Amino acid sequence: MEVKVISGDITKVKVDAAIVNLFEGVEHPGGATRAVDQALGGTISRLIGEGEIKGKLSEVTLIHTMGKMEPERVVVAGLGKQDKLTYDSIRGVMAATCRFLRKVGAKRVATVVHGAGAGGLDVEKAVQALTEGTILGLYTFRKHVTKEPEHGEIEELLIVEWDESKVPSLESSVRRGRVLAESTNFARDMINEPANYMTPSDMAEVAREVAADGGLEFNVLEREEMGKLEMGALLGVAQGSKQPPKLIVMGYRGGDPEASPLGLIGKGLTFDSGGISIKPSEGMDEMKGDMAGGAAVIAAMRAIAELRPRINVTGIVPATENLSGGAALKPGDVLKAMNGKTIEVVNTDAEGRLILADAICYARKLGLAPLIDVATLTGACRIALGDICTGALGNDQELVDRVIKSGEQVGEKIWQLPMYEEYKEQNKSEVADIKNTGGRYGGTITAAQFLAEFSEGTPWVHLDIAGPSFINKEQSYLIKGATGVAVRTLVNVALVLAGEQPE
């Protein structure tokens, strides 16, 4: 879909549908909505008076113009209560409205900038948000469906701004919103792929193509190289699968050559059966999405390559399967990670932290700092926070605060969990330096405490996306299935650290 900014009067733009808006409780529309109302002979005002249009958030009311103005249809989109309007509200409103218009066959759509008038929001941020919401909300994954879709797609969105002098800056906002949303959809595509189409080798090939298109540095460590680096934790997980493991490394250089690159690390379990500690069969098909953290990092690197911030960033993705083959890791085995720490494996289904341990060690070897890892790590986090919110833990409060704020700016909810020293006791082993799970209680925290053993003194934040990475019901601009969560947060962190996005 193409998104353009034009200057003019929305009543005079020849499109299949024009989108205007209304706040809840407003009886007499203003701005562009008033102009449309007047062109339609007061139809909107009458529908408000009759209670058909209430302005509730994401309410959609379709009106046929019958030749009274250039757009063939008008949609009045509800913005909800004026004092509660946010940029995320705009994303959701555009997603709901454009999905509705897609169903009625609209191809060319025009919209006003929601929230920039009476809503009091910054016009550039509002344009970025509505661009994101539209592209994210219209996402579909039909690669393996042979049946023709029931409807076509919206081909063009025109954002109508009456002040022509603002068009260039708004075009820049559209570009940023498009890059962020398309990269998030790129991650969604990777995560939604069946595991036989997204093996570790496939994941490495996708990353290779991203690097080639974006001019990024690229390298893949194979099993032999991992062995030389003594990555016993990663190799231990991989040994039950016939698919060779890959350690994917992508590098962007946009800042001072002497500056330490920001390190983004994503868990790339392309399928997780649980290994010998096998998972229940019900819902195991969703374990194709256990590489959502790795997909988020690859997609974030894609966006960073397009936006070109003045910062150095390196993305690392340890990719493997966790299967229960004859050579698979067994409960009670002891592994040695790259930094020499020994790990007692008490549960082979706590494998994500094992592959991340070696990836974090490798990131430190490369001199990356700070570090942010993203992983569908624990069911405990999904129990604690549901599918709405990501859990955050780390060893540097300033960095944790920055990541949470960056998520808030792009509409991704993140909640900090504590890292009290007492939780370390649960990870103590009698036969090794540490064991790979601390039991049921405080599972998200003890998993993070495990990772902290390998980040050591490097500023580090862990994002547990087990809940919001994959949803079973549509939520605003998030479609059922993979959400691509954390892509926009990671990119925003890079922009903040580069000084190109206010904190």
Residues noted as catalytic: 279, 353
Q: Which residue has the tokens 């454009």?
A: 98
Instruction: Give the 3-state secondary structure of residue 205.
Output: helix
* Angle 108-121-131 from CA coordinates, rounded to 5°: 30
CA–CA distances in Å: residue 320 to residues 31, 244, 254, 352, 454: 55, 7, 30, 10, 20
Cβ neighbour number for residue 158 with a 10 Å cutoff: 18
Partnered with residue 158 across adjacent β-strands are 4, 110
Angle between helices 352-365 and 443-455 in degrees, nearest 10: 30
Q: How far is residue 163's CA from residue 152's CA, in Å, rounded to a whole number?
A: 32
Cα–Cα distance, 159 to 19 (Å, whole number): 10
What are residue 22's DSSP bridge partners?
78
Distance CA 78, CA 24 (A): 7
**Torsion angle of alpha carbons 111, 115, 118, 119, nearest 10°?**
160
CB 358 within 8 A of CB 338: yes
Residue 81: phi and psi, rounded to 5, are -70, 135
